[in-house]
Amino acid sequence: MDKSDLVRMLASKNNVPPADAADELDRVVNRILRNLRRGHSVSLPGIGVLRPSAEAGVRFFPASAKDVE
């Protein structure tokens, strides 16, 4: 899945024009990046956590199966 696929899916599920869905997706991604750059972890419910790391830039810690349930 690439960005255009995700935009189409978001637009369809939310009954909004693709341009609006793309703008909202960009806002969400920018918020995530801004928080990581400030040294804050970002929790993605049901997916995992992104944490800034001096060695790796960003580390991903997947949610365990019990966290997803």
Average pLDDT score over residue span 12-27: 97
Tens digits of per-residue pLDDT, 33-64? 999 999 999 999 999 999 999 888 999 999 98
Percent of the chain predicted with pLDDT > 70: 93
DSSP symbols for 8-69: HHHHHHHT--HHHHHHHHHHHHHHHHHHHHTT--EEETTTEEEEEETTTEEEEEEPPHHHH-
How high does pLDDT run on average in the chain?
92
